[in-house]
Amino acid sequence: MANPDLYAVFGHPIRHSQSPTIHRLFADQTGQVLEYVARDVPAENFEASLRDYVASGGRGLNCTIPLKELAYGVADETSARATHCGAVNTLVLRKDGSLFGDNTDGIGLVRDLQQNLGIPLHNLDILLLGAGGAGRGILGPILACRPGQVFVANRTATRALDLVRQFDRQGKLAGGALEQLGGRCFDLVINATAASLTNDLPVLQDDILKPGGFCYDLAYASQPTAFVRWGKMHGASVSVDGIGMLVEQAAEAFRLWRGVLPETASVIDHLNQARSG
C-alpha cells in the first residue's frame, strides 16, 4: 500500500492541539489515506522546520499561534481573504513546489455561527472584543455577511481604530476602547482577546448584551471559559466556545487539500463528548 500523504500543524505551544484528532476523523469519514501530525515549532524555527517538512514530502500545513503571520510571509500566492488579514492558517504545497496560503478561520467561525448554531449574522449588531491577530482574521468574513453594525472594542483603543481603518470599506464598522461603549448593547458579542488563554476576562460592562443575545468565545478549553460563563450569567440564549469554529476551519483546510468537504457535526459531537466525559 502507498504511504499516506503527510499533513501537519505547526504551532507553539501545540501539546493540546485537537487538530490531529479532527483530521483523523475527517480522513476516516471520507476514505482519504493521510497522516496528520502536530509539531511544536517556535517562531524562530519556523522556516527551517518548514524546509524539513517540505523535504520529507509534506502536502499541506496548518499554522497556529504564533506562526500565522510568518506563514503569510512564506506563501508564494495567497487567497484574497488571507491577503486582507495578512495571516495564513493553511498552506497547500503544490506539485510545482510553490506554496499557496489561505486563511480558513473566518469562514470557520461564520459556518459555526450560521449553520451549526442557527445564528444568521445579517443585520445583527455585533461587538468584537479584541483587535489582535485573531480579531483581524475573522473580521472580513463577518462583514461579508452584512451585519447591522460591528463595533471593535479593545483594551488599547488605537489598535481597535487601526483595525477599523483597515476594514471600514467592507461594512459598517466602528471601534474604540473597551470602557467607551457608553450604553450600547449588542445581539452578538465575540471574544477575540487572548484573555481566555489565561482563563481571564476582558473588563465588560454588565449591560452590553441584549436580552437573549449570543456570546461566542474564539478560544476553547476543557472547561467553559470565563467569557462563556460571563455570557451565561448575563442572559445569553447561546454562550459557547470556539470548538465548532476549530472543526469548521479544519474542514475548509481539508477541502483545500483533498477536494472534499467533510461532515462536521459528528466531529464536533465527538470532541464535546470527549471533554465532558
> At 20, is the secondary structure helix, strand, or coil?
helix
Among 102-110, 117-125, 152-160, 163-171, which window interacts with ligand ATR (CB under 6 A)?
A: 152-160
Minimum separation from the CB atom of position 176 to ligand ATR (A)? 12
- The verdict on 158 binding ligand ATR (CB under 6 A) reads no
- The verdict on 156 binding ligand ATR (CB under 6 A) reads yes
Q: Which residue in 24, 39, 159, 184 binds ligand ATR (CB under 6 A)?
A: 159
Contact by Cβ (8 Å): 188, 126? yes
Q: Which helix (H) or strand (E) holds 110?
A: helix 105-111
At 215, list the grid cell. 456570546
Question: With respect to ligand ATR, which residue has the nearer C-beta, 228 or 267?
Answer: 228
At 271, list the grid cell. 470532541
- The residue among 87, 165, 154, 163 whose CA lies nearest residue 127 is 154
Contact by Cβ (8 Å): 214, 239? yes
Question: With respect to ligand ATR, which residue has the nearer C-beta, 5 or 162?
Answer: 162
Catalytically annotated residue among 68, 95, 172, 232: 68
43 alpha-carbon distance from chain centroid: 19
Question: How many residues appear in the chain?
Answer: 277
68 is catalytic: yes
Q: Which residue in 93, 134, 251, 271 binds ligand ATR (CB under 6 A)?
A: 134
- The verdict on 200 binding ligand ATR (CB under 6 A) reads yes
Minimum separation from the CB atom of position 132 to ligand ATR (A)? 2
As a whole number of angstroms, the distance between CA 150 and CA 116 comes to 21
Phi and psi, residue 90, nearest 5°: -140, 125
Q: Which residue in 49, 89, 90, 154 binds ligand ATR (CB under 6 A)?
A: 154
Q: What residue ranges bind ligand ATR (CB under 6 A)? A: 65, 130-134, 154-156, 159, 193-195, 200, 202
Residue numbers annotated as active site? 68
